[in-house]
Amino acid sequence: MIKKLSIAIFILIAAVPVLLGLGYALMYSLGLTGILSEGFTTTHWEETLITTTFWKSLGFSLYIALVVMLISLFFSLWIVISWIKQLNKGSLSYITYLPLAFPAIVMAFFSFQLLSKSGFMSRVVYKMGWIDSLEQFPDWTNDEFGISIIFSLCLLITPFFIILYSNLYQNERIAELKALAITLGAKPSQVIFKVIVPILLKKSAFTIMLFVIFIMGTYEIPLLLGRQNPSMLSVFIVQKLQKFNLADIPQAYAIAVIYILLIASIIALVYKTRPTFFNSSSSS
């Protein structure tokens, strides 16, 4: 009884507001509510789906998410495998938590001061004589490849996965599996790529998927460090919501609904085809 009541309270607090917001966005995008509402219409959806700006924004967001995750996973796995003892004891175990204390907007300002043409890196390179003026320093902020966005997100996410993998390393008794593999004649590279890395990645697969979704929806960092076109999806939606053109508001809601439905469909597909993916304890 208590368990059912707890589930009901959780659904009431967590799910109902989300569903109400999604319902309102859907109604607004279909012309059923809003200042300019004139009745049911699919015009806003059609305009959204045929515009290249939306697909560029979606593709750019996916590109940023995948690159950030690849870099973060590489460095977190490398650090955990190389310095697992130091992560369990000593100053490194405390330093890892430090970046998690900074909000995203603070990390964005840090990256801007570090990577912009008038930032710290450009001045160091200028003093070393590698460039003749600060203007020759490459555009690493508000650039088309999102370098500063990727850098900032990696600084935020990598420490989390270092902590996650260091805990999994202990919980999955990887040290014992490593010793067993070496005893059976496995080479160091085989131990890493056929024992340690597959176990850590499989146990964290669901978390990785959630972080890809989280990165695609991040707002503060791409707002400060990104370009207007293409922009990440969250920035693109807010720009349409806050423009003086009221006709863009239904399209903004349509984009939000499309993104939510796309993510929900992917999660449902993964759950249907691989239900154990959502239960790391059952993975082997």
For the chain, the domain total comes to: 2
* pLDDT one-digit tens code per residue, 212-234: 999 999 999 999 999 888 899 99
Instruction: Tell me how far apart the alpha carbons of residues 256 and 61 are, in angstroms, rounded to a whole number.
Output: 14
Looking at residues 132-142, what average pLDDT do you find? 87
| Shared-domain flag, residues 78 and 175 | yes
| Shared-domain flag, residues 60 and 26 | no
Contacts 24+ apart (CB under 8 A), 229-238: 229/53, 229/56, 230/53, 230/56, 230/57, 230/59, 230/60, 231/57, 231/60, 232/57, 232/60, 232/61, 232/64, 232/149, 233/57, 233/58, 233/61, 233/259, 234/61, 236/53, 236/54, 236/57
| Shared-domain flag, residues 99 and 35 | no
pLDDT at residue 22 tops 50: yes
Per DSSP, 12 falls in state I
pLDDT at residue 115 tops 70: yes
| Shared-domain flag, residues 18 and 99 | no
| Shared-domain flag, residues 257 and 205 | yes
Domain with residue 264: its CATH number is: 1.10.3720.10
* pLDDT one-digit tens code per residue, 64-88: 999 999 999 999 999 999 988 888 7
The answer to whether residue 114 is domain-embedded is no
The answer to whether residue 233 is domain-embedded is yes
| Shared-domain flag, residues 35 and 174 | no
| Shared-domain flag, residues 243 and 198 | yes
- Looking at the whole model, is its pTM more than 0.85? yes
| Shared-domain flag, residues 192 and 237 | yes
| Shared-domain flag, residues 92 and 61 | yes
The answer to whether residue 192 is domain-embedded is yes
The answer to whether residue 202 is domain-embedded is yes
The answer to whether residue 79 is domain-embedded is yes
| Shared-domain flag, residues 262 and 218 | yes
The parent domain of residue 20 ranges over 1-40
The answer to whether residue 137 is domain-embedded is no
| Shared-domain flag, residues 221 and 196 | yes
pLDDT at residue 277 tops 80: no
Determine the distance from the C-alpha atom of residue 157 to the mean position of all C-alpha atoms in its chain, rounded to a whole number: 8
The answer to whether residue 46 is domain-embedded is no
Of 72-81, 188-197, 269-278, least confident by mean pLDDT is: 269-278
